[in-house]
Structure 1
């Protein structure tokens, strides 16, 4: 019987953690278990899962392993454990695909599409000069963009702050015209009292969606927000299991869910979340400002999920200082973006070949990324 015999973890720039899992018959699978800014914490959680459970086990019993990793501990869920499980799960699917010489989506029922639309980030944490950047990305062939709506915002802020956000999306809309979609990420920075005001101000510019208009802790307010705007509402990057998504789907206020394949339990769990969402006529747009293994995992799920709408990807994103999504691939052409789409990879497993030599080289560098801690004018901590 094939067994899991070894694993290695690599912290690499800009802020990623890669997992290499090896089997007794020489197959290697890759996963990307990380919480941005908490890589060392997740690393320890992965080591616990591998050392205490998975080493010596048959890698092909993926569903059983997922249940054991999740249900085998009395305390479960949350970003750290679910991200650790996610990376292990990705690696096991990569191994299984290579064992059968088939892409993961083929093992999940086959393709429901030949390619998936992608969007491109513009601007930074504090968005500025996005109009010019938008024009450049459209010239490169992207048909969908995403930008941050605001920098820090007080719980009840000034009319000027709302107008500034409206002016930014107005500049993008003017630059790209009505044929390009513009997603606007509230990033959890907007408190409940401001969410309706901001949505109302942005509505004339027809956003593709507003993302995380309130923090997940305030998801009960989403139906009220949905009743006040025609803009599609997206959320889910800080929700980590099908049980986290259950209530927002039942409430009927969300139009697009955004589980992260490196945070929400991996391929096994997000495939189930996608199916739940399909029953509620909710689209799937996986969150992925991460590395190539996470992106490859996303595309495998997108390929076999009928309700997959669009895919986030991190090329040139403002976080990627010191490394980018294509740098770690032996063949970066697998993620060639053509007319705003990426073809579904046809190679075995996750469909990518990791440049292991480059990964090992980059893992020698000091990687210590943490998100900034923002403060309001009065010194209180602001949402980043």
Structure 2
């Protein structure tokens, strides 16, 4: 069996899919994208496919990963790692279909039968938070995630801290002691600002505080983890084991590799195993599309230290399309009391609606994240 064609599809709302075709008729799908840099990643996918994959045996998944990540003198970074990630997902999808098994079976078999999921809530005011959390609880979810704050000063003021506390309090009131609230800091505060925020949020028992400092300040994470009882999470902007290691050494409690950014299933599987040696849980980052989520679930079901799965169904900032628009078998992504059941189909376990994907290709707007500024006109972290 040989790879004969590699295609990419830019589809709404902001996703990039790749399709690997073989001379046997088997096809594998993946999701290589950097949000806001889809066309850049698309070029990288084409370059990697032309150099390393066309004409090759698709079942040499690890060898392909090694060549794609190390076959160039300049390596790593979000664009190349994301291009590799989507191609790696597609190769694993092909391997599962060739062997007639879900990917998690090829990686050692299942360690659980269902994976807990969390939902995003986007309300900026306590009343909106209360309503949105209540809707998710009514739908059967026991965990939600929201931003700790919107546009924020690097050192939050007492008024800003009070607003954060009121939003967290509103969510906790609805969730009760049996539910979980994850708070995403998005690297919007300085290290000192994050510590100040965690002090006021700690009474509401967050499941974790995500990216309290920017990834380029990972060397400062130890100051945060050592000063709070709130579990600290990070990882969506770390792209390899070597980048994750300093965060583990700094004392994080949860690592959040993104399977469409951090080298795909191959590397995220190794990140999860590395995290296990540090007694750290894994919560795959996934605000993306169906293939990213399908790959994340394959990892979740064979990973002992899996904690919870982020997912984007119904997320507040999608516009023009939804995750379920591109799959034929929506049952795979049906929630059962806030959980996703173990997929049993071969490969990634999801059947892509190829017609819908081809029709949507090129209809996606050139999405870029907002650029925020402080009142004085200076740059603010989004």
TM-score range, shorter chain: over 0.9
Shift of 1:246: 1.3
Q: Aligned Cα RMSD in Å?
A: 1.2
Structure 1 unaligned residues grouped into runs of 5+: none
Alignment partner, residue 65 of structure 1: 64
Shift of 1:126: 8.7
Are 1:110 and 2:94 matched, yes or no? no
Instruction: From 273, 278, 281, give the equivalent of 1:280.
Output: 278
Q: How many pairs align? A: 382
**CA–CA separation in structure 2 for the residues paired with 1:87 and 1:128:** 39
- Asked if the contact 2:326–2:352 (Cα under 8 Å) also holds between the matched residues in 1, the reply is yes
Report 1:314-325 matches (<5 A).
Answer: 314-325=312-323
Residue aligned with 1:60, SS: coil
Normalised to the residue count of structure 1, the TM-score between the two structures is 0.98
Alignment partner, residue 257 of structure 2: 259
Q: 1:7 to 1:125 in 2, by over 3 A?
A: farther
Shift of 1:277: 0.3
Residue aligned with 2:269, SS: helix
Q: 1:226 to 1:159 in 2, by over 3 A?
A: same
Residue aligned with 1:319, SS: coil
Alignment partner, residue 149 of structure 2: 150
Residue aligned with 2:314, SS: coil
Structure 2 unaligned residues grouped into runs of 5+: none
Alignment partner, residue 40 of structure 2: 41
- Offset from partner CA, 1:86-114 (integer Å, 9 cap, x none): 00000000000000110000111100111
Residue aligned with 1:327, SS: helix
Alignment partner, residue 205 of structure 1: 204
Are 1:99 and 2:98 matched, yes or no? yes
Alignment partner, residue 55 of structure 1: 54
**CA–CA separation in structure 1 for the residues paired with 2:233 and 2:317:** 22
**CA–CA separation in structure 2 for the residues paired with 1:319 and 1:31:** 22
**CA–CA separation in structure 2 for the residues paired with 1:238 and 1:81:** 13
Q: Which contiguous aligned blocks of 4+ residues in structure 1 show a shift greater than 3 angstroms?
A: 124-128
- Asked if the contact 1:236–1:245 (Cα under 8 Å) also holds between the matched residues in 2, the reply is yes
Q: 1:328 to 1:125 in 2, by over 3 A?
A: farther
Alignment partner, residue 225 of structure 1: 224
Alignment partner, residue 22 of structure 1: 21
**CA–CA separation in structure 1 for the residues paired with 2:21 and 2:125:** 42
- Offset from partner CA, 1:265-321 (integer Å, 9 cap, x none): 000000000000001100000000000000000000111110001000001112211
**CA–CA separation in structure 2 for the residues paired with 1:157 and 1:366:** 36
Report 1:184-199 matches (<5 A).
Answer: 184-199=183-198
Alignment partner, residue 301 of structure 2: 303
Normalised to the residue count of structure 2, the TM-score between the two structures is 0.98
- Offset from partner CA, 1:228-259 (integer Å, 9 cap, x none): 111110000000001101112123x1000000
